[in-house]
Amino acid sequence: MVGTVTPLDPDACYRALVARDARFDGLFFVGVQTTGIYCRPVCRARTPGRDRCHFFRTAAQAEEAGFRSCFRCRPELAPGAAPVDAVSRVVAAAMRRIDEGALSHEGNLDDLAGELGVSSRHLRRAMQAELGVSPLALAESRRLALARQLIVDTALPLTEVAFASGYRSVRRFNAAVKARYARPPSAMRRGARDSAPTESLTVTLHYRPPYDWAAMIGYLTARAIPGVELVQGDVYLRTAVVGEQQGWLSVAPDPSGAALRATVSSSLAGALMPVVARLRRLFDLDAQPEAIAAHLGRDPRLAAHVRARPGLRLAGAFDPFEAAARAVLGQQISVTAARTIAGRLAERLGAPIATPHPGLSRLFPGPAAIAGAPAQALATLGVPARRADTLRTIAAAVTGGRLSLDGGAEPARLIDEMRSLPGVGPWTAHYLAMRALGWPDAFPEDDLGLRRALGDVSGTAARAIAERWRPWRAYGATHLWRAIKP
């Protein structure tokens, strides 16, 4: 059923604008009638009068109404609005796929709708009703936002900026930028830039504070796959393959504000849209910590944990299949043992890659590599034969198109499909929905640690207790895990 856009309360939005309340950053945008510019609610420019303000849920809506984005607060840097919690599953899935570039380069609306199991007409109606913009308008807004960040913040040649931000031609890129920002790309560059090829480029990924980076980096450190991932101090590094592109990346806190700085090898520039989307999901950058903490903090079992770590995030996964493989390898063994086995898998079946970072030398093997591997290659990893068979079964299902782990996957359906595979139980299925899809309401009720933290209860009792945490059961579970596994 197609929903409708919930109208914004203009007076409440204006109060947030006057206060420059960072909790509302990315949740609405304000267009100023006299200037034709739209801004984030945290913009430091002079606050306009109430009668000159028009409020929009998304940047795309403001642009559809004819407003140009502010060059001071830069709306393209605003954190997202966690659409998975607010709109229907088909619209949330479409937004994720659009963020990953589904309507850029050679993608089209019919193909996207087909992936989601609906008609293109239904998808247009659903997105217009729930977001106030069409799929194509949203895709154009996403492309221009990334293009502007690359133009202003990097020395990437403009030709490469065009393709990195999802445009099929430089001519189309130039025309779109000039139409939206009233100036050509070259005029948006800050001073002279060296257009010589560079080994990497850096993009800024904003979030809503607070953010518990210590907890996130601790989680990633304990699970870093040798050869594929590496943590050095506060910096997370890994190798990456996206489509035909492969390379490396690193992510660290931005000392200037509520953001992360992602450095991406130039070899991944052609896949920058999906890389950015995956990083936002991995680090849970579109969460609304104030709302989550307010809700979970009402439960006496969680209140102290939430007060201690109000910025705790849900650690996701850069690659969904990698998350699936790790979930299977981690069944009934310790985190350290699972990390060791995953490293062996990468060493034996992953392709080698050269990087400037010692310790990053392998790509994690994709589903085709694992599905086609001889049984003996998996048997020597140190896992039971049945678990190795489960891993091969999942890999074959993904390779054959019978199982989808991409951004268009619907969590409840993924859980059912995973549980239908031999060797996959409720814990593995929910854990995968939590990590691979970033589903905030996933809850692996059979997890022994969670059951103990809740008073040595049964899985059924754990599920009943967690009902009051909806739609953020995964965050409740993360708080408990963090408390028992510091």
The answer to whether 319 and 278 have CB atoms below 8 angstroms apart is yes
Tell me which residue range forms the domain holding 327: 270-352+365-484
Res 93 pLDDT > 90 = no
The reported pLDDT for the residue numbered 56 is 93
Distance CA 189, CA 149 (A): 10
Three-class DSSP category at 154: coil
What token pair was written down for 318?
């850069």
Res 285 pLDDT > 60 = yes
Let me know if residue 116 belongs to a domain: yes
Distance CA 165, CA 183 (A): 18
Q: Would you call 53 a catalytic residue per the annotation?
A: no
In eight-state DSSP terms, residue 32 is E
The answer to whether 175 and 288 have CB atoms below 8 angstroms apart is no
Strands 68-69 and 37-39, how do they pair?
Answer: parallel
The b/e string for 138-173 (b: 16+ C-beta within 10 A; e otherwise) is: bbbbbbbbbbbbbbeebebbbebbbbbbbbeeeeeb
Task: Assign residue 27 the CATH number of its domain.
Answer: 3.40.10.10
Res 408 pLDDT > 70 = no
Where among 140, 161, 188 does a domain terminate?
188
One-letter amino acid at 67 equals: F
Report the candidate in 101, 185, 171 with the shortest Cα–Cα distance to residue 143.
Answer: 101
- 3 pLDDT band (50/70/90 cuts)? very low
CB atoms within 10 A of CB 376: 8
The answer to whether 219 and 315 have CB atoms below 8 angstroms apart is yes
Let me know if residue 5 belongs to a domain: no
Residues 429 and 346 in one domain: yes
The reported pLDDT for the residue numbered 2 is 43
13, 39, 53, 70: the active-site residue = 39
Res 399 pLDDT > 60 = yes
The reported pLDDT for the residue numbered 83 is 43
At 317-337, the pLDDT tens digits run 999 999 999 989 888 889 999
The long-range contacts involving 441-444, CB below 8 angstroms and separated by at least 24 positions, are: 441/411, 441/470, 441/471, 441/472, 441/473, 441/474, 442/411, 442/415, 442/473, 442/474, 442/477, 443/469, 443/473, 443/474, 443/476, 443/477, 444/477
Let me know if residue 418 belongs to a domain: yes
Residues 30 and 144 in one domain: no
Distance CA 182, CA 168 (A): 21
Let me know if residue 261 belongs to a domain: no
Q: Would you call 39 a catalytic residue per the annotation?
A: yes
Res 27 pLDDT > 70 = yes
Where among 77, 110, 125 does a domain terminate?
77
Of the given ranges (118-132, 136-150, 160-174), which has the lowest mean pLDDT? 118-132
284, 286, 441, 447: the active-site residue = 447
> What's the structural domain count of the chain?
3
Residues 313 and 461 in one domain: yes
pLDDT > 90 in the chain, percent: 57
Task: Assign residue 140 the CATH number of its domain.
Answer: 1.10.10.60
* 197-210: average pLDDT: 89
Q: What's the pTM?
A: 0.85
Let me know if residue 132 belongs to a domain: yes
Where among 188, 220, 237 does a domain terminate?
188
